[in-house]
Amino acid sequence: MTASHAPLTTPDGRYLVVRGRLWRTANPHLSAQVRARLVAELMEARRAVKAALAAKNAAQLATARGAVNAAKVALGERGPVWWTDGAKDLNRHLVKNTPYAAWFAEHAPTP
């Protein structure tokens, strides 16, 4: 993605906004080395999903999808939230239905 087409990030850095929906970002407290390792694991797992789908192998697909989930949990994109202020997790919510609605209305790209 180019910078002009990069997804918006909420002011608190917790979410990306893609097509009007919030997606939790990775934990910014991870070291660069740990993050790079986890991203590599995620990409490997995604390739395994693709291969399992092509092979129509249900057992491999389940294993690969489990690996994708494990990597996303380790990155902080799924599972327990990485912030500590008690704020609710709004992952996958439409931004217009969240406390970020007014911010998004001001910053959303115009079609």
Q: What string of DSSP letters covers the chain?
A: --GGGSPEE-TTSSEEEETTEEEEPPPTTS-HHHHHHHHHHHHHHHHHHHHHHHHT-HHHHHHHHHHHHHHHHHHTSSSS-S--S-PPP-TT-BGGGSTTHHHHHHHSPP-
How high is the mean pLDDT of the chain?
95
Question: pTM for this one?
Answer: 0.86
Q: Round to whole Å and give the CA distance between 48 and 94.
A: 30
pLDDT at 4: 59
Q: Is the pLDDT of residue 85 over 90?
A: yes
Q: What is the pLDDT of residues 11-22, one digit of tens each?
A: 999 999 999 999
Q: Is the pLDDT of residue 58 over 70?
A: yes
